[in-house]
Structure 1
Amino acid sequence: MQRRQSSATWLLLAHIGLIFYASLYPFWPWRWPPGMGLPWLLDLPWPKRFWAFDVEANLLGYIPLGLLGFAAAMRSGWGLRTALLLGLLPGPLLSFLMESLQFFVPGRVPSLSDWALNSAGSTLGAAFGLILNGLGGLQRWENMRDHWFGTSSAPALALLALWPLALLYPTPLPFGLGQWLPWWRESLVDALAGTPWALSWGDAVAVEHELPPGLAALAIGLGLLSPVLLMIAVARPGLRRLALAAGAVLLGLLGTATATAMAFGPDHAWAWLSDATRPGVGLGLVLALLACLLPSRVAAALGLFVLCALIGLISVAPADPYLTLNMQAWEQGRFINFYGLTRWLAWTWPFIALVWLAARLVQKPE
């Protein structure tokens, strides 16, 4: 089988990064377990009690690892045996590494049951991949991808798959990903505390102004338009682009509604779609439809401009105080790891998309 670039490979790498984050959060302070030697570190303890949430998370969280490992190898042309190895082996090995490293992170509890559940999850994922391949599902996906998208589209498809997950972290404005400024500001203020520049710097960066309605609508529209431009940069021309754009918009709406439901309750899932945000959503829909007419390279170039403008606008948007209270509840509860994962996705997604679009422009046309 001819080897080719697969979006499953990029999703596999992203999932491994998410496992590192979920397993080792909050990452510090690192310390050697007092009174324990290295042989003891290799002997994971069995827990005294089980929690349903932990059992489900440890089992389900590793299923994509086995599935993506198998699919990435098969789609890249490595053959069935190699695919089985990449589906079955990384899960137990990665889980054992994570559980062993948790000895060094206070607040994390390594467990032999977690390793067993993680290993079972990755094995189930590899089994799903084997069944899917046997039924022809991977080949049908390859044929469908070739019908809808051009070559070298794997990174873009992985980014598009991660976009709805990034939207699960609530932002000041719908679809407003990439708000690094508050985090950098707080970090710099803390770093300058006790120095001659502390007071003046803190006063300077603490000023926040609400975005005017027009700029807020523009930021929302650009946030909805950016993944559509990313998709058009790799999609084949024709009416199929309209279907892809509609699918991207629908995923964005559902992702934002899900984030609102998680932050404020299921009854308020669509509360974000208010009189203040509807103009921005409407603007995004119109721009997305018009973008379907653009050539792929023009869409990539416009995507660079749109993402830069989105990052600039969302960086100066003030935080919602009610949202901040709900985020504190997430940080202190069982969603602490999920909160961190979605936060980093929301922060980094536009910047990774910028890098890919810039690389796309310097590639030779297909």
Structure 2
Amino acid sequence: MLRRQSSATWLLMAHVGLVLYASLYPFWPWRWPPGMGLPWLLSLPWPQRFWSFDLEVNLVGYVPLGLLGYAAAVRSGWGRGAGLLLGLLPGPLLSFLMETLQFFLPGRVPSLSDWALNSAGSTLGVLLGLVLHALGGLRHWEDLRDHWFGASSAPALALLALWPLALLYPTPLPFGLGQWLPWWRETLVDTLDGTPWALHWGPAVTLQHDLPPGLEALATALGVLAPMLLALAIARPGLRRVALILGGLGLGLLGTATATAMNIGPDHAWAWLTDATRPGLVLGGVLALLACLLPSRVCAALGALALCALISIVSLAPSDPYLALNVQAWENGRFVNLYGLTRWLAWTWPFVALAWLLARLVQRGE
């Protein structure tokens, strides 16, 4: 089989990042476990009690690792044997490493049952991959991808698959991903405080009140338009582009409504549709449909510009006290790991998408 780039590879790397975050959060403080020698670190303890939520998460959380590992190898042309190795081995090895490292984090509790459930989950993922492969599911996905998208589209497809998940994080504006720079500024100032390299910057450049309705509508339009332009940068020409945009808009609406429902309750799932955001949503959708007529490289260039503008506006958005309460509830609740994943996705997604679009533009023959 001809080797090719697979979106499963990129999704696999993203899922490994999720496992690292979920297993090692809050990442501090690190210390040698008191009274434990090196041999003890290689023997995981059996827990004294079990929680159903932990059992489910440890089992289900590693299923994608096995499935994506198998699919990445097979879709890349390495064969079924390599797929079994990539699907079966990394899960138990990664889980054992994570559980061992938890000895050094006082807030985490390593467990042999967690390792067993993680290993079982990755094995189930491989079995699911074998079933899909036998039924022709992987081949069908390859044909479907070739029908809808051009060559070298795997990273962009992975980004598009992660976009609805990034929307689950509470953001100051609907579709307002990328508010990362203020956090970096605050972190850098706090880290260097009291050192010779302390930074004495003035107050952060943010608005003290809500964004003007026109600017909020523009930010919403850009937040909708940028992912659609990313999709059009890899989509094949024709009416299928219109269907792709309509499907993407539907996923974006669903992701934003789900995030609102998780934050303030299902009865308010559509509360984000205000007099300011509705025009922006319509404008972004109309511009995305019009962009279906443009060449892929033009869509990539416009997508890069839209992301730059979105990041600039979102960085100016003021903090919302209700948003802070929602984030605190996520941090202290059962959704702490989901919170961590969606936070980093919401912060970094526009930057990674921008980097890919710029790389796409400098490539020749694309």
1:24 is aligned to: 24
Give the direction of change, closer, same or farther, for the CA distance of 1:199–1:210 in structure 2 (3 Å limit): farther
Kindly state the Cα deviation for residue 206 of structure 1 after the two structures are TM-superposed: 7.0
Residue type of the partner of 2:264?
F
Instruction: Point out 4+ residue stretches in structure 1 off by more than 6 angstroms.
Output: 195-200
Partner residue in 1 for 2:112: 112
Q: Secondary structure at the match of 2:91?
A: helix
- Looking at structure 1, the residues matched to 116 and 125 of structure 2 have their Cα atoms a distance apart, in angstroms, of 14
1:265: Cα distance to partner? Answer: 1.5
TM-score (norm 1): 0.96
Change in Cα spacing, 1:237 to 1:93, as seen in structure 2 (3 Å) is same
What is the Cα-based RMSD across aligned positions, in Å? 1.7
- Superposed counterparts of 1:125-136, under 5 Å: 125-136=125-136
Q: Is the 8 A contact 1:67 1:126 kept in 2?
A: yes
Of 265-274 and 61-70, more deviation after overlay is shown by 265-274
1:36-70 C-alpha deviation (Å, 9 max, x unpaired):
01110111011111111111111111000000000
Cα shift at 1:341: 1.0
Code of the aligned partner of 1:8: A
Aligned to 1:251: 251
After TM superposition, give the deviation of residue 106 of structure 1 in Å.
Answer: 1.5
What does residue 175 of structure 2 align with? 175
1:22-101 paired onto structure 2 within 5 Å: 22-101=22-101
Tell me how far 1:276 sits from its aligned partner. Answer: 2.6
Question: Can you list the C-alpha shifts for 1:87-133, whole angstroms capped at 9, x where unaligned?
Answer: 11111111001100111112011100100110111000000000000
Q: Deviations over 1:185-229 (max 9, x none)?
A: 422442464589989735455763422111110000000011110
Look up the match of 1:264: 264
TM-score in terms of structure 2 length? 0.96
Is residue 2:302 matched to residue 1:305? no
1:130-145 alignment to 2 at 5 Å?
A: 130-145=130-145
| Inter-partner Cα distance in structure 2 for 1:200 and 1:85 | 52
1:13 correspondence with 2:21: no
Paired AA for residue 220 in structure 1: T
How is 1:291-302 mapped onto 2 (pairs within 5 angstroms)? 291-302=291-302
C-alpha distance in 2 between matches for 1:199 and 1:254: 42
What residue number does 2:157 align with? Answer: 157
Counterpart CA distance in 2 for 1:305 and 1:171 is: 21
Could you list the runs of 5+ residues in structure 2 that have no partner in the other structure?
none
Q: Distance in 2 between matches of 1:197 and 1:123?
A: 50
Number of aligned positions between the proteins: 366
How big is each residue's C-alpha offset from its partner over 1:308-352, in whole Å with a ceiling of 9 and x where there is no partner? 000000000112211111111111122122111110011110111
In the alignment, residue 71 of structure 1 is paired with which amino acid?
Answer: A
Alignment of 1:186-225 (within 5 A): 186-191=186-191, 193=193, 201=201, 203=203, 208-225=208-225
Q: Secondary structure of 2:293's match?
A: coil
Alignment gaps of 5+ in structure 1: none
Secondary structure at 1:169's aligned position in 2?
A: coil
SS in structure 1 opposite 2:261? helix
Q: Which amino acid in 2 is paired with 1:364? A: R
SS at match of 1:201: coil
* Matches of 1:193 and 1:76, distance apart in 2: 48
- The residue that corresponds to 1:328 in the other structure is 328
Q: 2:207, 2:163 → 1: CA distance?
A: 30
- The answer to whether the Cα contact below 8 Å between 1:3 and 1:77 also exists between their aligned partners in 2 is yes
3-state SS, counterpart of residue 292 of structure 1: helix
Sequence identity, in percent?
78
